Structure 1
Amino acid sequence: MTPADSALTERVRARLDARLSGGIDAPVLIPLSGGGDSMALLGLAADWARARARRLVAVTIDHGLNPDSPVWSRRCRTAAEALGLDWIGRRWEGEKPTTGLTATARAARHALIAGVAHEVGAHVILTGHTADDVAEADWMRARSAQEGVSPLGRLRDWSPSPVWPEGRGLMLLRPLLTERRAALRDLLRSLGQDWIEDPANLDPRFGRSRARRALEDAPDATAPLAFASARSEALTTPIRPLPFGLGFETGRDLPPAALSAMLVSASGGQALPRGERLAALARRLASGEDFTVTLSGARIEGVGEHVRVAREPGEMRRRSVAPVPLSPGVAAVWDGRVEAVFDEPGWRLTGAHGLLNRLSDADRAALSALPAPVRGAAPVLIRDGGDAPVLAGRVGRVRFLPPRRLNLALSGFGLVFPGETTQEHGLFDGVHGETPTTDLFSVATDEPAPPLRAPQDRKPR
């Protein structure tokens, strides 16, 4: 191994150590395509995992788009098992779209990877994105802006899974984000290892391929980047979760990235809002005016110094959010905000709109402190054959997802609360508002909820 290879190896190990814990039971998941970036990361991560007594699991997604993909999957399995790792293969089934194939395939890949992560109990997924990927994304972002298209999000070393709700509770770690693609291939050559070259990487129909071609003669475009974890910004505006996964209360002084994350977390939606509509909302908040608007399925109310971001029941009706039947022992997510598990059959999870007057007195009292316009978005449970809804949390096992989703999204943007941990072991701790507390169903008072904070630096249980 050359001095350059040794230096690269030490940098990657340090980045893995900065985020991940040693000697815990939860495995780390690594998607393996067989390309040069993922093969280099496989070897580096396997060495780290052995040294830190961690289980590393490889997963390969066969998109079914190339006739050689089964051969590639077998090569990936061989490479993983040669390092003593477990390997899991998954295939993207079903019809493929004729337009938007790249984005659809990416979403399908992330959903399949998230499913495997939940299956094996992993909380962190390693990906092989490099400085070249950052430069290519910047090139694509610049072209999208020129064409009036919503720009792509920026790659960071630590960010939530981009699919929801499949990716709930999962973080992506990109330990190669400051490394050059060519340096990784030099490392593989020095170790006598080969890799797969996907012909799609040279197909000019795809934006990523066009970016790669355009940057071939611009080596300075992929100069080493400052490691993202060193650029975190303290977020000092308190954020308080509303009961029943309905949203948040906060102040007006929020960075646009935090506002975007809060909107999508409160609404349970998929895509982060960007562009002029988000900028316009930020300007209204900064102006200090009182207002009520909706954006991305969320209702935003600014009154004085206070801001409430909550799920908009009217948007739920317009988009026909269907009830979710619950199978015994199987976690199901409703409206992207509530996860429920029941041990007995015959329950379904739905919204309170149209059912509020059939709730018990105790349940109506629990909702009484909330503004009337958002109460209809509260989750309720109904038993088959019955017509008496029950607020979610009274029966079964229920998690309200927006608080944790927001915490992870803020961390991915490099926005952290003072004292917040942005490491793997923080993913094992509870977040206020995520699950029902013992006083959730007591008669509400004017006492504000504790601020949303990520858990303090604690070892996993």
Structure 2
Amino acid sequence: MPETVIAAARQFLRSFAKPCRILAAVSGGSDSKGLLVALHSAIGNGDREGFSLAACTIDHGLRPESAEEAAAVAAFCAELGIPHLVRRWQGDKPQTGIQAAARQKRYELLADAAAALDADCIATGHTRDDQLETIAMRRARGEGYGPGGAGMASTMLYGRRIWVLRPFLGLSRADIRGFLTARGVEWFDDPSNANPRFERVRVRSELKGSQEAPIAPWSAAQRAASSARAAALIESHVRVHETIVAEVELAQAGNMNDADWRRALLSVAAVLGGRNHLPGHATIERISGFLQKGMPGRMTAGGVVYDRRPNGLYLYREARSLSACVIDPGATSVWDGRFNVTNGERHPVVVTAPQQDSQWNQRLIDAGLPPGVAKRAARAAPQIAPAQAEIAGSIRAKVECRIALYDTFLPGFDRTMADAVALLFGRERYPAPPVHDLFDRNGEGPGGLPWQRDARTLC
């Protein structure tokens, strides 16, 4: 039903706390072009005053015809009077993991385009079809039972910079194509969407031949509630010392049958290990088994040492695989996935792990940690020195903990938990989305933002 597409666009505009400028990500395919046309129509009809629309096309440079398609989208936007930019992925492309790399670069370029066009947020054309594929893929990887089963979030913060919104998650691709056909608007079909080399394409083919679509075992509201409870558990039972050691109350440490606590603890561990994802099922089982035994001892998983003592559980980075990182003057680099380091000097500096006992060791002892824990944890702390040995003196550098789990991609329904983790490691809270968040700080809500629900309820 074409009218459901306009209804979803109108409801999307009504969800904003205040009018703003929206950047539509438009590839030229049916989903993104439908988003552009629907938002342009809704804004043009004055459904809510004060909104404006801009657009950006990312040319990944992976197909010969991609530049021509981007130019066609630019011409289409010009006909509608919509400011438009084309951003091209320059440089060499990876031989493996091309889709993940392309996704990362796409959002980076979209964020840059949003800044250039003074946009307040980015809107993408992800549909219910994309959501079902995502749920099926996560389930196949063993991630679809529990919080991962909620699928894509209707809001996502990229790089602590800008919110990405998905207003069409309640619509099918057929709805959008019907809408475009009724308006006489054509679109491109990317041949990579039919290439079985890619996981999503294989899953899409399997879903077409299936009699039943996958159902998300967790709703967005359930995921938000889990996030809120995990945040409360973190605030009650975990302390972090000098950003490199987490101290966990012994009575809570072994409570690994509690899914929310398990997720909370492993999220803290992921930050300490510089990982942007939680460990796999087998590793989680190994960690749980160790902690549930309740016996003193140490184990290592995901680059993190789980050091259980009679007075508490301590988590810290294993002092292995710690490479050096040279940072040019004025530049910022990530060291070991754990720290953002900005060089405030006029000469290059190098970040390494200490070769011997350092001031980190004493600071941890002064904080009340057992000497053995302090010594081991200090060996994985950042040490900054001039890259050239002949340069002496103190180093001006800004060092902040990187929240690898959330600093690049933060699903909106995990913001409560992300804030708790960020504050634990001395970082600021993440910015709120521009749309009304129907999940309060206790994670309660009616199941998603208005434009995330089935579009039939929006007519």
Please give the TM-score of this superposition, normalised by the length of structure 2. 0.70
Check 1:309–1:131 CA distance in 2 against 1; reply closer, same or farther (3 A cut). farther
Name the SS of the counterpart of 1:197 in structure 2.
Answer: coil
Name the SS of the counterpart of 1:293 in structure 2.
Answer: strand
The answer to whether the Cα contact below 8 Å between 1:324 and 1:334 also exists between their aligned partners in 2 is no
Higher relative contact order (CA 8 A, sep 6+): 2
- Aligned counterparts of 1:376 and 1:285: Cα–Cα separation in 2: 24
Task: Give 2:334's aligned residue.
Answer: 333
Pairing partner for 1:36 from 17, 20, 30 = 30
Q: Percent identity?
A: 25
Check 1:284–1:367 CA distance in 2 against 1; reply closer, same or farther (3 A cut). closer
- Aligned counterparts of 1:23 and 1:303: Cα–Cα separation in 2: 54
1:437-456, Cα deviation, whole Å (9 max, x unpaired):
xxxxxxxxxxxxxxx97789
Name the SS of the counterpart of 2:324 in structure 1.
Answer: coil
1:264 partner amino acid = A
Name the SS of the counterpart of 2:73 in structure 1.
Answer: helix
Task: Give 1:400's aligned residue.
Answer: 401
Pairing partner for 1:264 from 258, 267, 270 = 270
- Aligned counterparts of 2:83 and 2:216: Cα–Cα separation in 1: 31
The answer to whether the Cα contact below 8 Å between 1:32 and 1:59 also exists between their aligned partners in 2 is yes
1:8-52, Cα deviation, whole Å (9 max, x unpaired):
2344345x53xxx5357xx76543222122222334556569947
List gaps (5 residues or longer) in structure 2: 436-459
Pairing partner for 2:301 from 270, 295, 298 = 295
Check 1:181–1:6 CA distance in 2 against 1; reply closer, same or farther (3 A cut). same
The answer to whether the Cα contact below 8 Å between 2:22 and 2:120 also exists between their aligned partners in 1 is yes
**Equivalent residue pairs, number:** 404
Name the SS of the counterpart of 1:339 in structure 2.
Answer: strand
Shift of residue 286, structure 1, vs aligned partner: 4.2
Check 1:28–1:2 CA distance in 2 against 1; reply closer, same or farther (3 A cut). closer
The answer to whether the Cα contact below 8 Å between 1:33 and 1:60 also exists between their aligned partners in 2 is yes
Task: Give 2:324's aligned residue.
Answer: 322
The answer to whether the Cα contact below 8 Å between 1:92 and 1:109 also exists between their aligned partners in 2 is no
Shift of residue 186, structure 1, vs aligned partner: 2.3
Shift of residue 132, structure 1, vs aligned partner: 0.9
Task: Give 1:427's aligned residue.
Answer: none
Task: Give 2:89's aligned residue.
Answer: 91
Check 1:271–1:160 CA distance in 2 against 1; reply closer, same or farther (3 A cut). farther
Name the SS of the counterpart of 1:416 in structure 2.
Answer: helix
The answer to whether the Cα contact below 8 Å between 2:300 and 2:318 also exists between their aligned partners in 1 is yes
- Do structure 1's residue 309 and structure 2's residue 305 form an aligned pair? no
Let me know the Cα RMSD of the aligned residues.
Answer: 4.4
Pairing partner for 1:194 from 186, 190, 193 = 186
Task: Give 1:440's aligned residue.
Answer: none
Pairing partner for 1:246 from 235, 244, 250 = 244
1:403-426, Cα deviation, whole Å (9 max, x unpaired):
x85588786564735xx989xxxx
Shift of residue 366, structure 1, vs aligned partner: 3.3
Check 1:63–1:248 CA distance in 2 against 1; reply closer, same or farther (3 A cut). same
Shift of residue 271, structure 1, vs aligned partner: 4.3
Shift of residue 202, structure 1, vs aligned partner: 1.9
Check 1:203–1:401 CA distance in 2 against 1; reply closer, same or farther (3 A cut). closer
Name the SS of the counterpart of 1:232 in structure 2.
Answer: helix
Task: Give 2:213's aligned residue.
Answer: 221
- Aligned counterparts of 1:30 and 1:276: Cα–Cα separation in 2: 40
Please give the TM-score of this superposition, normalised by the length of structure 1. 0.70
2:336 partner amino acid = D
- Aligned counterparts of 2:318 and 2:109: Cα–Cα separation in 1: 30
Name the SS of the counterpart of 1:5 in structure 2.
Answer: helix
The answer to whether the Cα contact below 8 Å between 2:401 and 2:425 also exists between their aligned partners in 1 is yes
1:94 partner amino acid = D
- Do structure 1's residue 4 and structure 2's residue 4 form an aligned pair? yes
